[in-house]
Chains A and B, each alone.
Chain A
Amino acid sequence: MLQRPPHLLGIETLSREQIVFILDQSKPFQEFQRHPLKKLATLRGKTVAIAFFEASTRTRISFTTAASRLGADTMSLQAESSSLKKGESLIDTVRTLEAMRPDGIVMRHSSSGAPEFVAQRLEIPVINAGDGTHEHPTQALLDALTIRDRKGKLEDWNVTILGDILHSRVARSNIHLLSKFGARITLCGPPMWVPRELENLAPNIRRTPHIKEALDGADVVMVLRVQTERIHEPALAADEYIAGYQLTPERLRLARPDALVLHPGPMIRGLEIDSAVADGPQSCVLEQVTNGLAVRMALLYHLVGGAPADAPHPAKE
């Protein structure tokens, strides 16, 4: 069996085999979401700290639900109510959480590298739920699961990512993951959001500011959320973005007829994506949400479950 990594900090350092293992382990949990009774006792007695130092709704609900369906309890820390506002340092906050003896911590932070910093200092598994512009590994894993399910395999697709790539941890994690499986990746968006350095992330990356060129022959189209807080700096008007980069039914026809459309949410209809595409047969948006639960249950089961590392092993087989 595979050596289980103690944390999940990013996709970049995972091997293909580790990724396939997580995706395979998500399958039973996908099926579990269809059960009439969605409550296991598998992690009964375990506590998962859900520490979100940056606002989030869907990822936090997804992790909390995943923990709850496995039977674990959660303790929740949210940016709005946190003592960070009162000036406490990150390490003091997480040490305080750790003193309440959780068995793992799911963490989101606006600073890239914050989960790794915490992982080096705590004794419990850390799962990165998004850090700055660095990585959002569970999003990439659920996207990969969605692609593998819909297309039958994960290898060798033409993947186009549309939008603000520079600031997107979703894009970064997806680029790392899909390129490990031979994807040819096209990055497309306003030039200031698609700088040349991104080509160094992985082999087989090309950039283009022209959406028609980007969509030609695509098997998978990933639409990123336009972070409206960024759209005014440096000056880019919403209508310019819509004219140049909105995924419309006409533009989607340039991709392969069976191309998939993915969006990490929250979706802003009429800005980065047209409603007809968001609700169309090629859209995987709601499957992504359900698959997110399955992936997170599989990760919590393997990382948080089991005996604590320092506990004696009972001899019973």
Chain B
Amino acid sequence: MRVVEKRQLLSAEEIGRTISRLAHEIVEKSSGTANLALIGVRRRGVPLSERLAKVIHGFANVKVPVGTLDITLYRDDLSTIGAQPVVQSTEIDFPVDNQDLVIVDDVLYTGRTIRAAMNGLFDLGRPKRIRLCVLIDRGHRELPVEATFIGRSVQTSDSEIVEVRLQETDGEERVMLVDRVD
């Protein structure tokens, strides 16, 4: 299988502006930041959550706690795949009980990752509220999951892939729509 790039969805500059807008929306719609915390889903949700926290610190002068969540142990396809995926650490060093959590991920697709992320969070306590912030919503949901904060909604076909490249994880900064060619 080959993949070909169809078009660029976001440039580096647009990613920056989008994150800045999302950070403002999160604060605006949270009626106070006292209990607010961001949970980055491995892998690209982690740098995104850290950038959001940095922007919030810049304009609201509050340090929002940021945690990292690995959803591997909560995946719903583990009994159907051969070799088990590598488990990584979850690093949430604050209590989630009664917190106002925002899960941060790069792409919202089937919704299964977010279902797994919520299960992971419930194992750590009982949050007051959980919302979802994604850079790209590409549709094709298989579960009743919707994002509260969306960078950009994109119409895609099933064979297409949204590729998010971030400086911290990929050494470049852009979002592309690519297609699988048989």
Check: A85 CB closer than 8 A to any chain B CB.
Answer: no
Q: Which B77-130 residues sit within 8 Å CB-CB of chain A?
A: 77-84, 86-91, 119, 122-125
Check: B9 CB closer than 8 A to any chain A CB.
Answer: no
Residue among A28, A35, A39 with max Cβ neighbours from chain B (10 Å): A28
Do the beta carbons of B89 and A40 come within 8 Å of each other? no
Do the beta carbons of A28 and B81 come within 8 Å of each other? no
Proximity bits, A17-60, B CB within 8 Å = 1, else 0: 00000000101110100011101111011100000000000000
A302 CA to B123 CA, complexed, in Å:
21
A35 CA to B97 CA, complexed, in Å:
13
A120 CA to B74 CA, complexed, in Å:
33
Check: B70 CB closer than 8 A to any chain A CB.
Answer: yes
Check: A1 CB closer than 8 A to any chain B CB.
Answer: yes
Known contacts A1-B83, A25-B86, A40 near B73 by CB under 8 Å: yes
A39 CA to B120 CA, complexed, in Å:
11
Proximity bits, A288-317, B CB within 8 Å = 1, else 0: 000000000010011001110101011010
| Nearest B-chain residue to A312, judged by Cβ | B80
Interface size class of A (residues with CB under 8 A): 20 to 34
Known contacts A307-B79, A313-B81, A36 near B86 by CB under 8 Å: no
Do the beta carbons of B87 and A316 come within 8 Å of each other? no
A309 CA to B83 CA, complexed, in Å:
9
Do the beta carbons of B125 and A307 come within 8 Å of each other? no
Do the beta carbons of A307 and B88 come within 8 Å of each other? no
Closest CB in chain B relative to A28 CB, distance in Å: 5
A29 CA to B86 CA, complexed, in Å:
12
Tell me whether chain A's interface is mostly helix, strand or loop, or mixed.
Answer: loop
Check: A232 CB closer than 8 A to any chain B CB.
Answer: no
A309 CA to B84 CA, complexed, in Å:
12
Note all chain B residues with C-beta closer than 8 A to A31.
89-91
Note all chain A residues with C-beta closer than 8 A to B78.
42, 305-306
Known contacts A307-B80, A307-B82, A28 near B74 by CB under 8 Å: no
Check: A4 CB closer than 8 A to any chain B CB.
Answer: yes
| Nearest B-chain residue to A39, judged by Cβ | B123
Note all chain A residues with C-beta closer than 8 A to B87.
25, 28-29, 298, 301
27 contacts between A and B (CB under 8 A): A4-B83, A4-B84, A25-B87, A27-B89, A28-B87, A28-B89, A29-B87, A35-B123, A35-B124, A36-B125, A37-B123, A41-B74, A42-B73, A42-B74, A42-B78, A44-B79, A301-B73, A301-B84, A305-B79, A306-B83, A306-B84, A307-B80, A307-B81, A307-B82, A311-B80, A313-B80, A316-B77
Residues of B bordering A, CB below 8 Å: 70, 73-74, 77-84, 86-91, 119, 122-125
The 4 A-B pairs of least Cβ separation, nearest first, read A42-B73, A28-B87, A37-B123, A305-B84
